[in-house]
Amino acid sequence: MKKPSQAPNPPATIPEIRPGQSVDLLKELHILTRDGKLNQDSRRKLKQVYHLVQFIEPLLKEAETLVDHGAGKSYLGFILYDLCIKERATGEIIGIESRPELVDKSRELAARLGFPRMRFLACTVEDSLTSAELPERVDVVTALHACNTATDDAIRFALAKEARHIVLVPCCQAEVAATMRARKNESLGQTPLSELWRHPIHTRELGSHLTNVLRCLLLESHGYDVTVTELVGWEHSMKNELIIASKRGAPRKNARERAEAILREFNIEELAARFTY
């Protein structure tokens, strides 16, 4: 009689997968293939999300509500729920996404996996500020790879909701660079510092850097302690800056003045409404 072939090792034995992580969830998110394999691209994506989870997990210990702004397909929200919320008696994760088709898919997946304390709202940033479906205050706001001004929208939402913690991985910051580029000739006649953004590639890179510096000053002006670090190694992603802000009380006294001075120095004062409110 022919012996049955031995079953392959279960996907949970893949060393990159954290203990307790739902293999079914990873398959639904297409991080694992249907037969439980992990390819190189998925391994890189999983490493990034897990590294971010390590920073967020401690913030959730005393938190009841996490809002993921610009949630997209909600990779982060689903993995956080699975690892940090599922076994608790309380706590919820709310994904905010402007594309209704992605919201519908996330709702279907949460129902299929039995994640009852995950909710998804299809709304704009403006709508999210006044939506009756959101609490007046939230504990944690996240924005993972929120492109261009979407990160600023997440900050505005977090400040309005008096979030205790804000976790940001900005992406594709183009607005500041575009403003610098539009006023380049004028700036060249005003300050030798304009040499820092005379060439297009320098404009792009300096504009991205300035954007995040101004965001940090804005958060500090509202009483947050801010930490800036790498999300993962640069070999995995060039969009790699992780900003973590935690509410501590008194605002940094000179944060707003420093932001205003930077805006003047780089001839981009027209952006003051975004960075100095």
* Average pLDDT over all residues of the chain: 90
**pLDDT, tens only, 9-43:** 444 467 789 988 999 999 999 898 888 888 888 88
Average pLDDT over residues 143-166: 92
Q: Which of 4, 2, 3, 23 is nearest to 12 (CA)?
A: 23
pLDDT range class, residue 259, cuts 50, 70, 90: very high
Look at 42 and 55; give whichever has higher pLDDT: 55
Report the pLDDT averaged over residues 48-56: 90
Of residues 193 and 220, the one with the higher pLDDT is 220
Query: Model confidence at 172, in pLDDT bands (50, 70, 90)?
Result: confident
Which pLDDT score is estimated for 6?
41
The pLDDT-based confidence of 274 (bands split at 50, 70, 90) is very high
C-beta atoms surrounding 230 within 10 Å = 12
Q: What is the mean pLDDT of residues 131-147?
A: 93
Domain ranges in the chain?
17-158, 173-277
pLDDT of 238 reads: 53
pLDDT for 121: 97
Q: Are strands 118-122 and 140-147 parallel, antiparallel or unpaired?
A: unpaired
> In CATH, which superfamily holds the domain spanning 17-158?
Vaccinia Virus protein VP39 (3.40.50.150)
Check: CB of residue 235 under 8 Å from CB of residue 227. Answer: no
Cα–Cα dist 87/230, whole Å:
30
User: In this model, does residue 55 exceed pLDDT 90?
Assistant: yes
Within a 10 A sphere around the Cβ of 8, how many other Cβ atoms? Answer: 10
pLDDT of residue 232: 67
As a whole number, mean pLDDT of residues 44-73 equals 92
Mean pLDDT of 224-244: 78
Q: What is the mean pLDDT of residues 156-172?
A: 95
- pLDDT-derived band at 239 (thresholds 50, 70, 90) equals low
- The runs of H, that is alpha helices, within the chain are 23-28, 40-56, 75-80, 100-113, 125-130, 150-160, 175-182, 184-188, 200-221, 255-265, 272-275
Q: Is the pLDDT of residue 126 over 90?
A: no
- List, for residues 78-120, the tens digit of each pLDDT value: 999 999 999 999 999 999 999 999 999 999 999 999 999 999 9
Inform me whether the pLDDT recorded for 7 exceeds 70: no
| Portion of the chain with pLDDT greater than 90, in percent | 73
Bridge partners of residue 165, in order along the sequence:
140, 246
